[in-house]
Amino acid sequence: MTIPHPAGYRPAPDGNHPPLLSEGYRSTVLRAPSEAPVVLRHRLTEVTGPLLTGDIGPNDHDLTAQHDGEPIGQRIVVFGRVLDSDGRAVPNTLVEVWQANAAGRYAHARDNWPAPLDPNFTGGGRVVTDAQGNYSFTTIKPGAYPWGNHHNAWRPAHIHLSLFGRSFTQRLVTQMYFPDDPLFAQDPIFNSVPDPTARQRLVSTFDLEATRPEWALAYRFDVVLRGREQTPFEEPHE
Amino acid sequence: MSELLTPSQTVGPFLSLGLTWLEGHLVVPPGSPGAIRISGVLTDGAGEPVGDGLVETWQADAEGRFDHPDDPRGATGSGFRGFGRCATDPGGRFEILTIKPGPLGDGQAPHIDVTVLARGLLDRVVTRIYFPDEATANAADPLLASLPQERAATLVAQETGPSELRFDIRLQGDGETVFLAV
């Protein structure tokens, strides 16, 4: 029995994603594979993927409501749509987020830079997109923090996002930044994206319309995952 | 159509704040019929363990089917999650408890797709786990057959005991695992 090969997903254009070896970011030097990746034609395992929508807790979308008190910091709403590159919504897909607190410290045993921990902030959250691909979560604006990559290195404020889409090929982990951050120019992680236009797609936009009056500022961050080929790849039968 | 894709960025060293699930490594509950434990160590180009990584797996069920609408044979409706995730410990170790996937019926040998995320990886890297008791199917598998033998061997797990497989992932250097562009 043979089954037809499914339509695959279109590759990212050159320069859209960072190269794995990016010497300005020192940790890549021993972790980037030396060999070029082997191209794998998309088959069933690649065009399917985990559809994870369960186990979302009541405060998972609100990082300011996970403890007895409220965390210190500027309260913000981060929202947007998850789309594919054909503009189609990606509904019912898990979005996981994590971030530092307002002082730039992660609630993690291995983050030892001497900024205060906030007993009311853990910094992890998750949401599932609605039928139109919308997601929204409430948090506080993370602080910048120094790291040991190079002399006087500082990470721009950012929120980590992890997305699954609907297929193994659409899996994406990224970071969302804030507009006009003066730390962009010296950050090798932000600048690891070769195409400067693509790099700007990592920067959220302040959205006055979405701001909640007398409550929270709002930043929009749309995420675009790979779109699918229109037709199955044809190949001769063996 | 435009391709205005959101670029990838590293998970950084603190991914466990957002991505660790207590029972993420349990693709199937302990004690499930046919359960196998696949464990391994993630290492870098100096042979050092990567203690801040995450390994994720995706696979078909024992019949080679997916509970997913984009399987052209139809979603099974079985609720089989097919997904595992395990953060590496300080020794770089990870493990998942799963069942062996069945053949998909498209000429490929049974396999599990793997995503590796870590500080220092600006994009995920992808590989595959194949099974040591499938010599005939592995020999006919389009991916394995396209690789030199010693490279293909990096994709085949080793049996270390009853229902126990070992699959090490070497990011760089000697015995570097074959990674896949998907």
User: pLDDT tens across A82-105, in order?
Assistant: 999 999 999 999 999 999 999 999
Name every chain A residue with its beta carbon within 8 A of the beta carbon of B141: none
Mutate to test the interface with B, among A16, A35, A44, A121 (most CBs of B within 10 A): A44
Q: Could you give the 3-state DSSP secondary structure of residue A196?
A: helix
Q: Half-sphere exposure (CA, 13 Å, Cβ side) for A181?
A: 26
Sheet architecture: strand order including A124-128: A124-128, A94-99, A158-163, A172-177
pLDDT at A22 > cutoff 90: yes
Q: What is the C-alpha separation between B27 and B23, in angstroms, rounded?
A: 9
Give the rounded distance of the alpha carbon of A236 from its chain centre.
Answer: 39
Which one of B4, B83, B179 has the shortest CB-CB distance to A52? B83
Smallest CA-to-CA distance from B163 within B57, B21, B25, B32 is with B32
Query: What end-to-end distance do the CA atoms of chain B give, in Å?
Result: 20
Q: Residues 81-100, chain B: which have Cβ within 8 Å of A?
A: 81-83
B86: DSSP letter: E
A106 tagged catalytic: yes
- Is-contact B118 B131, C-beta < 8 A? no
Q: Cβ separation of B9 and A167 shorter than 8 Å?
A: no
Domains of chain B (ranges; CATH) run 7-169 (2.60.130.10)
The rounded mean pLDDT for chain B is 96
Q: Could you give the 3-state DSSP secondary structure of residue A165?
A: coil
Q: What average pLDDT does the segment B4-10 reach?
A: 97
| Max Cα–Cα distance, chain B, nearest Å | 51
Greater pLDDT, A232 or B163: B163
Q: Cβ separation of A40 and B115 shorter than 8 Å?
A: no
A94-137 confidence digits (pLDDT tens): 999 999 999 999 999 999 999 999 999 999 999 999 999 999 99
Which one of B1, B68, B179 has the shortest CB-CB distance to A85? B1
A135 tagged catalytic: no
The rounded mean pLDDT for chain A is 95
Q: Cβ separation of A45 and B68 shorter than 8 Å?
A: no
**Alpha helices (H) in B2-96, listed in sequence order:** 16-19
Q: Cβ separation of B179 and A37 shorter than 8 Å?
A: yes
Q: Using a CB–CB cutoff of 8 Å, tell me whether B133 touches chain A.
A: no
B54-107 confidence digits (pLDDT tens): 999 999 999 999 999 999 999 999 999 999 999 999 999 999 999 999 999 999
Beta bridge partners of A138: A62, A77
Contacts 24+ apart (CB under 8 A), A181-185: A181/A144, A181/A156, A181/A157, A183/A144, A183/A154, A183/A155, A183/A156, A183/A157, A184/A156
Give the rounded distance of the alpha carbon of A33 from its chain centre.
Answer: 22
A108 tagged catalytic: no
- Is-contact A128 A67, C-beta < 8 A? no
- Is-contact A64 A124, C-beta < 8 A? no
A9 tagged catalytic: no
Q: What is the C-alpha separation between A78 and A200, in angstroms, rounded?
A: 17
Q: E-assigned strands of chain B?
A: 35-43, 53-58, 83-87, 93-99, 111-118, 125-130, 158-161, 164-166, 169-170, 180-181
Place of tokens 């180009």: B45
A43-84 confidence digits (pLDDT tens): 999 999 999 987 899 999 999 999 999 999 999 999 999 999
Q: Cβ separation of A44 and B60 shorter than 8 Å?
A: yes
B175: DSSP letter: T
Which one of B1, B45, B48 has the shortest CB-CB distance to A227? B1
Name every chain B residue with its beta carbon within 8 A of the beta carbon of A16: 3, 5, 7
DSSP letters spanning B92-103: -EEEEEEEPPPP
A169-228 confidence digits (pLDDT tens): 999 999 999 999 999 999 999 999 999 999 999 999 999 999 999 999 999 999 999 999
Catalytic residue among A26, A75, A160, A220: A160
What is the number of other CB atoms lying within 10 angstroms of the CB of residue A133? 20
Q: Cβ separation of B180 and A39 shorter than 8 Å?
A: yes
Q: What is the C-alpha separation between A53 and A44, in angstroms, rounded?
A: 21
Q: Using a CB–CB cutoff of 8 Å, tell me whether B13 touches chain A.
A: yes
Q: What is the C-alpha separation between B141 and B135, in angstroms, rounded?
A: 10
| Contacts (Cβ under 8 Å, ≥6 apart) of B180 | A37, A38, A39, A40, B126, B127, B128, B143
Which amino acid would we find at residue B138? N
Instruction: Please return the burial class of A47, using the count of CB atoms within 10 Å of its CB with bins 0-12, 13-18 and 19+.
Output: buried
Q: Using a CB–CB cutoff of 8 Å, tell me whether B46 touches chain A.
A: yes
A155 tagged catalytic: yes
| Max Cα–Cα distance, chain A, nearest Å | 66
How close A150 comes to chain B (CA, Å)?
Answer: 14
What is the number of other CB atoms lying within 10 angstroms of the CB of residue B162? 7
